[in-house]
Amino acid sequence: MSFWTPALFALFVWWFSTGAILWVVKSADRNGGTARYRAVLFGVPFLGLGIWGFWASLHDTSVVGAYAGFLAALAIWGWIELAFLSGVITGPNGAPLPADRPEWERFIRAWGTLAYHEMLLVATLIAMFLIDWNLAATNQFATWTFAVLFFARISAKLNLFLGVPKINIDFLPEALSHLPSHFRYRTMNWLFPVSVSALTFAAACWLERLYAAETAGAQVGFTLLSAITALALLEHWMMVLPIPDEKLWRWMLPAPKPTQKTTQHHQGGHHGL
């Protein structure tokens, strides 16, 4: 079996799904009004497909089952991210961070900007693990894919909070315009080496399972997990390396809505799913 096919498939889906979500969100910004709520509502069928795909793939150990579980996790994840970026499911705090706040208050306020969204992600991940456990699922690639995305996202957000040298706010929607006030620009923070080490170790574990896999379905599933973990690792390195990753998606997004304000943006990269 060629390992390049599922690896390139994961790369394409990561790129395309990130661009698609950004396009929907930026288009909703341009239309204004209730466009954000309509975007989230129109995305519900994709959430339904993700839930159905997760359920249908639980005992499918074939190649198709591995792809189905992977795509199901991305569909569920993508809808939740769409709801967050649209400002529909975020947190109780929608105000910028006031200046000169102590670190403990800064953390509480930052948590308040995305609390409901993070709790939804946690509840979804727990539900997927419990379903796998109770039904003795033989195909758990959907759950593991969601878990990789979840822990990589938590790591990325904590690094943004603690401080990294490269942050791009160009792609942030209007509904989340208060988020940059909670970010910090620093040369390095203590968590970053831990994050990249953990993701590197996770990728190595998936690769070890890949080489030990005895079925084509398992080989495809662990290749997909290795690829998505490697992409999460790359996204972390994009926080510190001068890579113009925003060019991956900028060309496909609608022009921003004209405003009278001129906002100064920092060079950097948007982080994908």
pLDDT of residue 210: 96
Average pLDDT, integer, range 39-63: 97
Q: Assign 262 a pLDDT band (cuts: 50, 70, 90).
A: very low
User: What does the alpha-carbon distance between residue 273 and residue 268 come to, in Å, rounded to a whole number?
Assistant: 16
Whether 45 has a pLDDT exceeding 80, the answer reads yes
pLDDT of residue 244: 77
Whether 261 has a pLDDT exceeding 80, the answer reads no
Average pLDDT, integer, range 29-58: 95
User: What does the alpha-carbon distance between residue 270 and residue 247 come to, in Å, rounded to a whole number?
Assistant: 10
Q: Assign 222 a pLDDT band (cuts: 50, 70, 90).
A: very high
Whether 267 has a pLDDT exceeding 50, the answer reads no
Average pLDDT, integer, range 125-139: 98
Three-state helix/strand/coil letters over the chain? CCCHHHHHHHHHHHHHHHHHHHHHHHHHHHHCCCHHHHHHHHCHHHHHHHHHHHHHCCCCCCHHHHHHHHHHHHHHHHHHHHHHHCCCCCCCCCCCCCCCCCHHHHHHHHHHHHHHHHHHHHHHHHHHHHHHHHCCCCCCHHHHHHHHHHHHHHHHHHHHHHCECCCCCCCCCHHHCCHHHHCCECCCCCHHHHHHHHHHHHHHHHHHHHHHCCCHHHHHHHHHHHHHHHHHHHHHHCCCCCCCCCHHHHCCCCCCCCCCCCCCCCCCCCCCC
pLDDT of residue 254: 77
Instruction: For residue range 57-106, list pLDDT tens digits in order.
Output: 999 999 999 999 999 999 999 999 999 999 999 999 999 999 989 999 99
pLDDT of residue 171: 83
Q: Assign 259 a pLDDT band (cuts: 50, 70, 90).
A: low
Do 142 and 53 form a contact (C-beta atoms < 8 A)? yes
Whether 163 has a pLDDT exceeding 80, the answer reads yes
Average pLDDT, integer, range 233-244: 90
Do 254 and 29 form a contact (C-beta atoms < 8 A)? no
The model's pTM is: 0.92
